[in-house]
Structure 1
Amino acid sequence: MLAPAVPEIIEDDDIGLAIDARTESLPALRELGPPDLVHLVKQSTKAGAKQTGVYHHVTGVDASSSASLAAYVNTLTFNPVDKTHKVVSGLYCCYNAFSHLDMRVEVKIPGSVESYCVDERGDRRVATDSLWLETFLCAVLRAYSYADDGSGDTIKKIIGVRRFNPVTSTEQEHRFFEAAEKLFFSGRQLGSDPEIQIPNVVSNHLTAGLLKYIKTTGRYASGINLFEKLRTRDVEVSSLLARVLLEGDEEIEAVRLLHDSLQDVPMDYALLDCQASFCQSKGEGGLALELAKQGVTAAPSEFSTWAKLAEVYVDLEQWDLALLTLNSCPMFSYQDKDSPRMPEPSRVLLPILPESALDEIDEGQPRQGEPFDQVHVSLRKLQAATYQGTFLKAYSLLTRIVASIGWDALLKTRSQVFVMEEEYRSERQHSVTPKTQTSKNASTIALSGTPNGHPDAEKPAETEEDESDEESPVDDEKTLAESSTTAPTVNGGGSSENESAEMKAERSMEKPVPTIAAEEVKSGGDDADASSSSYPGFQNKRLCERWLDNLFMVLYEDLRIYTIWRTEMGQYRQQQMQYKKSAAEWEVLGDLAERLHHTNEALEAYQQCLNIRFSPKAMRGILRMYEKKGDTRNILACLIRLITWQYRWYSEFSPELFYSIRKLIEEEGAVKVRSIVQSTNLPQPVLDLTHEYCQVCVAFRSNGTDA
């Protein structure tokens, strides 16, 4: 594929500061490690000129040996943009997350190549073949894990990163799978996604990378072959094999495997989760429910098992039990991927590859020194947009509920399930009877499938309260109203239209009153058990976790802002006036609408953003919606522009965009896809970038490429 341009982060005075900073950061690395660092020393072609240090980051380079890394450095010795300097040396740094070593290759130009590794203390060690095998596998996993999804969010986090596709042929795939097979049972050493509390044989960064690769490329036969071999050594691998079989349309084999494996390990939560997901996909909610309950019993400390049970309750429209189960989820602090911590550079050069130049992308972008878009404070403060990990998944479940039943019904269910602050204080004032403990707890409620553990119960039961950190916000109650109508973004000015929209939003939505905090119940002379017989009103209620109480407030703010926006839009249209927002504000509004499952409104906002200037996030949002509709031409129109933008910022590879291309080829055939791409009225070099993605599908012999 066409190599992207080379960004340069320049050290004019202290050459090597970036290398020192990387060495100092090694003890703090906890995940797969940061992108590879490539540091060059350049010297002016004029006699006696001083040297300059330049560097960039990279993922996806073949790290199987010192020779392959040295070869990459050699590709940088000729720079058509800079003919006044020559490269005199280069250092390539690639992190080995298995052994916690930074593998380094020093290249003297012209001259020698030296390889070694640096440990967390900064001491040098010998680079062995086994260490290079580990490094090669880590490099492939980083390329997939740290790739951009097309929205540009990942690209914008770290400046100057070249991203390559680490596996572009069946030969490279064979080497990747061979390394994965040899190191598979060491995978837990790499850590896991933030939703997993304890990495294990089937839940870690290695297995996540393998599954992502197989799904992205559609190489199901290769994946099945790999996991079948590994399954002979550990039956737990069956859950991974079953997932690949299901994705590869081998349902009968997958069901047989799940059945047989659960005979051997009946309490393997990964197998139970896989089977529950399959039953969900077939509309068998009852079967999925029993399996999800078993999953919670098998792994009660894992977020994923509780989240699956809550998801099944949402599918079954058992909203009270869904909230109770959600309240029982163990929440984990989000740990972001390792990223480089570099000193402030002297200068930064970000060249544009001529083949990725497209006026549509460049026009309207703020130039260097120009102010960025103004974003109204109400939009900047939307906390839900920052959620990641377990909190993002929990919030997504909450938005599914509110999209199904509306805000009022959600608040009503919440007050039936949880002890509210006002009613607790009122009840407590009228009771002096000593309290007795109850045996009900979160697990028995959620797993019994009934609100209070009894089949004839109508209201959810209360359980032991859980500790929590966040304080509950206290606000006056407002009138009840339907929330499923509309919602906000606030106009910058103080116009009467804006004020009336806000007033309408306030009147149409009840703000959630706080639940009683567990720490308040326990404080002073209070007993922690709010469900005892001395408080008959709380017999069927439990204490709400502070984090979940906060999610309700965050959801309220999302809905309030959405409602204001839609109300304002309606008012402006009635008056035949133009409703103006900045491109960044339209992008936030599109994200907000999509988060709340308002697809048409999200599409409208994203298109308004793109009318002002190109935004990869808005284009990615539109792509998702066209994919739901199966609109081939518009899908490809989005993909061409996103692929071009990625190349513009030094990325030749996005797994999500590659997956979209592959699925289109599978459904429409490669010939038709190529024809539609070629028929668009865009520069040929830009179209060639998309053709290169298609060519990788041909190399992998994807379905639809033989036509």
Structure 2
Amino acid sequence: MVAPAVPEIYEEEDIYAAIDARTDSLQSLRELGPPDLIYLVKQPKANANRQIGVYHHAVGTDASSSASLAAYVNTLTYSPLDKTHKVVSGIYCCYNAFSHLDMRVEVKIPGSLESYCIDERGDKRVATDALWLETYLCGVLRAYSYADDGSGDAIRKIVGVRRFNPVTNTEMEHKFLDAAEKLFFLGRQLSSDPETQVPNTVSNHLTAGLLKYIETTGRYASGINLFEKLRTRDVEISSLLAKVLIMADEEVQAVRLMYDALQDVPMDYALLDCQASFCQSKGEGEMALECAKRAVTAAPSEFSTWARLAEVYVGLEQWDLALLTLNSCPMFTYQDKDTPRMPQPSRIMLPILGESMLDEIDEGQPRQGDPHDSIHPTLRKLHAAAYQGTFLKAYNLLTKIAASIGWDQLLKIRSEVFVMEEEYRVERQQVSAKPEQRSTSASSVAVNQDGSAAEPNGTGSGSESGQGSDEDNNTAETSPQVNGDNNKGKKSIERPELSMASEVVKSGNEDHDPSHASYMHFRNKRLCERWLDNLFMVLYEDLRVYTIWRTEMAQYRQQGTEYRKSATEWEILGELAERLHHFDAAIEAYQSCLSIRFSPKAMRGILKLYEQRNDTRGMLSALIRLIAWQYRWYSEFSPELLYTIRKLIEEEGAVKVRSIVQATNLPQPVLDLTHQYCQLCATFRSSGSDG
């Protein structure tokens, strides 16, 4: 594939400051580690006494030995952009997350090569073959973890990262899977995604990377072979094998495997979750419910099991139990990926690769020194856009419920299952001093509807019961009428009343009342967790802003005038509509954004629309532009874009896909970038790529 251009971040005064900053940050790393750091020392050809430092980051390079990293440094000795300087030395830094060491290769040009590693205290240690094996595997996993999904979010996060595909042929695949097999049972040392509380054998960054690779490339046979071998050493690997079998359309075999494995490990929550997911995909909600309940019993402190149970209740349209289950989800603080903390550079050079130049991408882009797009304050303050990890998944579930039944009905159900602040205070004034027997927690009702189960280990305590007040007493905010799908434009968005937070009751902020644990009216109600209460307020704000936007647009159309927003505002509105499951409105906003200037996020949204409509030409048109934009910002590899092309080839055939791409009226070098993705599918012998 065409190598991306090389970004250059300059340190003209303080040489090696970036290396020192990386060394200082080693003890704070908790995940897979930051991207590799490549640091070059240059000197002017006319003045041998002066030196400057230049660096960039990279993921996906071959880190299996000191020689392969030195070879990468050697490719940087000639720069077509800088003919007045020569490279005199280079250091390649690559983090080993298994042993918490920074592997470094120091190259003198011309001359010597030294490899060593730096531990968390900054001490130098010997680099062994075993450490290089660990480093290589971490490098591949980082390439998938730090890859961009096409929207540009990952690319914008860290400046100057070259992203390479770490596995470009079957020989490299064998090398990767062999390393993964040898180190598989050390995977829990690598931490896990933010939705998992405790990394384990089947849930960590290694298993996530393996599944991502198998799904992206369609190399199911290789994945099945790997997990079959590992399963002989630990039956828990069955859940991973089942997932790959389902991906490969070997569903009968997967079901048989899950059944057999559960005879050996009946309380393996990963297997039970896999069963629940499979039943959901087949529309068997009741069967999925039993599996999901059992998974919650097996792992009550994991977010994923509770989230799955809530999803199943949503699918069964049991909205009250879905809310109760959501309220029981254990929420974890989001742990972001490790990112480099570099000192302020002297200047940054971001060259453009000639092959990725496309007028429609470059036209309209803000130049250096141009004022930023104006963004209305209400659009800046939409907190849902910043959600990550467990809070993002919980919010998605809440929006799914709101999209299905409407905001007013959601508020009504909320008041029926949770103790509202006003009714709690009124009831406390009227309750008799006689204590009554403690009632069953409503959260356990969500898991076991006969009320016989013990309380789960979710967040928050079960609350006392009572008759919920209707939302009639809520203060309705005078906002424009709703044009959403469920509200039919007839009602205003009602501001949610505050619920009684469990934190307030448990912290003793209320006056002590020995009988408050058994109020008659609260027997079947729960105290709402503060975080869920906040989600309702955030959803209210999202709906309010969405309603105002749609109402204003309708008014402008009636008046025959143009509704104006900046490109960034249209992008935010598109995301807002997508969050609320109003896809037509999202597409409209994204198209308005693209009419002003190119935006990868907007184009990614348009791509989703074409996917829903099975529009092959539209999908390829979007893919060509997204791939070119990725190359523009030094990324030759996006797993999501490769996956989309692979599925297109599987459905339409490689010949048709290549023909449509070639027939597009765009510069040939840009089309060749997309052809390279198609060639990858041919190299991996993906279905449909042979004819």
Aligned match of 1:526: 512
Partner amino acid, structure 2, of 1:584:
T
**Amino acid of the residue matched to residue 150 of structure 2?**
G
Partner of 2:476: 478
Residues 190-236 of structure 1: CA deviation (Å, up to 9, x unaligned): 00000000000000000000000000000000000000000000000
Task: Give 5+ residue unaligned stretches, structure 1.
Answer: 455-461, 467-474, 488-503
CA distance in 2, matches of 1:528, 1:187: 50
Whole-angstrom distance in 1 between the partners of 2:75 and 2:516:
69
Which residue matches 2:470? none
Matched AA of 1:352: I
> CA separation of 1:480/1:43 partners in 2, compared to 1, >3 Å: closer, same or farther?
closer
**1:670 counterpart residue number:** 654
| Preserved CA contact (<8 Å) 2:324 2:443 | no
Aligned to 2:216: 216
Instruction: Kindly tell me the number of residue pairs found equivalent between the two proteins.
Output: 673
Q: Following TM superposition, by how much is the alpha carbon of 1:530 offset from its aligned partner in structure 2, in angstroms? A: 5.1
From 621, 626, 632, give the equivalent of 1:637: 621
Deviation at 1:486, TM superposition (A): 3.4
Match of 2:307 in 1: 307
Q: Does the 8 Å contact 2:482/2:491 carry over to 1? A: no
Spell out, residue by residue over 1:398-418, the C-alpha distance to the aligned partner (whole angstroms, 9 max, x if none): 000000000000000000000
TM-fit CA distance, 1:434? 3.6
TM-score computed with the length of structure 2 as normaliser? 0.95
Residue 333 of structure 2 aligns with which residue? 333
Q: What's 1:162 paired with?
A: 162
Report what 2:129 is aligned to.
Answer: 129
Q: Distance in 1 between matches of 2:600 and 2:134?
A: 34
Match of 1:595? 579
1:611 corresponds to 2:595: yes
Contact in 2 for aligned 1:358/1:686 (Cα 8 Å): yes
Letter in 2 for 1:231: R
Q: Report matched runs for 1:255-654 at 5 Å.
A: 255-436=255-436, 438-441=438-441, 443-449=443-449, 464-465=462-463, 477-478=475-476, 485-486=483-484, 508-521=492-505, 522-527=508-513, 532=518, 535-654=519-638
- Secondary structure at 1:340 match in 2: coil
CA distance 1:624–1:528, change in 2 (3 Å): farther
Question: CA 1:562 to 1:106, structure 2 compared with 1: closer, same or farther past 3 Å?
Answer: same
* Separation in 1, partners of 2:396, 2:482: 16
How far the C-alpha of 1:519 sits from its partner, in A, is 3.5
Counterpart CA distance in 2 for 1:439 and 1:108 is 74
Describe the superposition over 1:72-123 as per-residue Cα deviations: whole angstroms up to 9, x where unpaired.
0000011111111111000000000000000000000000110000000000
Amino acid corresponding to residue 229 of structure 2 in structure 1: K
Structure 1: distance between partners of 2:600 and 2:331 = 31
Shift of 1:509: 1.1
Q: Name the aligned partner's letter for residue 96 of structure 1.
A: N
Shift of 1:529: 7.5
Look up the equivalent residue of 1:515 and give its one-letter code: S
Relative to structure 1, the CA distance from residue 387 to residue 440 in structure 2 (aligned partners, 3 Å threshold; closer, same or farther) is same
The answer to whether the 8 A contact 1:60-1:143 is kept is yes
Which segment drifts farther, 125-134 or 509-518? 509-518
| 1:435 positional shift | 3.2
Distance 1:673 1:453 in 2: 57
Per-residue deviation, 1:395: 0.3
Deviation at 1:453, TM superposition (A): 6.2
Cα shift readout 1:24-56 (whole Å, capped 9, x = no counterpart): 000000000000000000111114451110000
Aligned to 2:238: 238
Q: Percent identity?
A: 73
Contact 1:262–1:268 (Cα < 8 Å) also in 2: yes
Query: CA distance change for structure 1 residues 556 and 389 in 2, over 3 Å: closer, same or farther?
Result: same
Q: Which amino acid aligns with 1:683?
A: P
TM-score, normalization by structure 1: 0.93
CA distance in 1, matches of 2:535, 2:374: 27
* Correspondence for 2:467: none
Paired with 1:463 and 1:91, the residues of 2 have a C-alpha distance of: 54
SS in 1 for 2:41: strand
- Is the Cα contact below 8 Å between 2:418 and 2:526 reproduced in 1? yes
SS in 1 for 2:476: coil
Once the two structures are TM-superposed, the CA of residue 432 in structure 1 deviates from its matched residue by 3.4
Match for 2:109: what amino acid? I
Alpha-carbon distance between aligned partners in 1 of 2:483 and 2:56, rounded to the nearest angstrom: 49
8 Å CA contact 2:463–2:522 kept in 1: the answer is no
Could you say what secondary structure the match of 1:348 adopts? strand
* Cα deviations by residue, 1:527-567 (Å, 9 ceiling, x for unpaired): 587561xx222111110000000000000000000000000
Residues 384 and 554 of structure 1 are in contact (CA less than 8 Å); yes or no, is this contact kept in structure 2? Answer: yes
The verdict on how the C-alpha distance between 1:530 and 1:145 changes in structure 2, with shifts beyond 3 A counting, is farther
Work out whether residues 463 and 525 of structure 2, in 8 Å CA contact, stay in contact via their aligned partners in 1: no
The structure-2 alpha-carbon separation of the partners of 1:130 and 1:442, relative to structure 1 and needing over 3 Å to count, comes to farther
What secondary structure, in the 3-state scheme, does the structure 2 residue paired with 1:117 have?
Answer: strand
Give the corresponding residue for 2:16: 16
How far apart, CA to CA, are the structure 2 residues paired with 1:520 and 1:149? 41
The alignment yields a C-alpha RMSD, in angstroms, of: 1.9
How far has the Cα of 1:483 moved from its partner? 8.0
Deviation at 1:428? 1.0
Would you say the 8 A contact 2:481–2:551 is kept in 1?
A: no
C-alpha distance in structure 2 between counterparts of 1:585 and 1:560, whole Å = 16
Q: 1:645 to 1:360 in 2, by over 3 A?
A: same
Please list the CA deviations of residues 119-142 of structure 1 after superposition, one character each: whole Å capped at 9, or x if unmatched: 000000000000000000000000
Distance 1:556 1:276 in 2: 31
- Distance (whole Å) between structure 1 residues aligned to residue 229 and residue 123 of structure 2: 38
Matched residue, 2:86: 86
Match of 1:696 among 671, 674, 680: 680
Question: Judging changes above 3 Å, is the alpha-carbon distance between structure 1 residues 442 and 85 closer, same or farther for their aligned structure 2 residues?
Answer: farther
CA distance in 1, matches of 2:514, 2:386: 33
User: Separation in 2 of the partners of 1:73 and 1:505?
Assistant: 61
Q: Please say if residues 408 and 482 of structure 1, whose CA atoms lie closer than 8 Å, have aligned partners that are also in contact.
A: no
Quick check: 1:420–1:513 contact (8 Å CA) kept in 2? Answer: yes
Aligned counterparts of 1:595 and 1:76: Cα–Cα separation in 2: 43
For 2:619, the aligned partner's letter is I
Counterpart AA for 1:691: H
Distance in 1 between the 2:513 and 2:77 partners? 73
How far 1:444 sits from its partner (Å)? 2.0
- State the alpha-carbon separation in 1 of the partners of residues 13 and 480 from structure 2: 63
**Counterpart secondary structure, 1:509:** strand
Could you tell me how far apart the structure 2 residues matched to 1:328 and 1:484 are?
Answer: 31
State the distance in 1 between where 2:177 and 2:676 align: 24
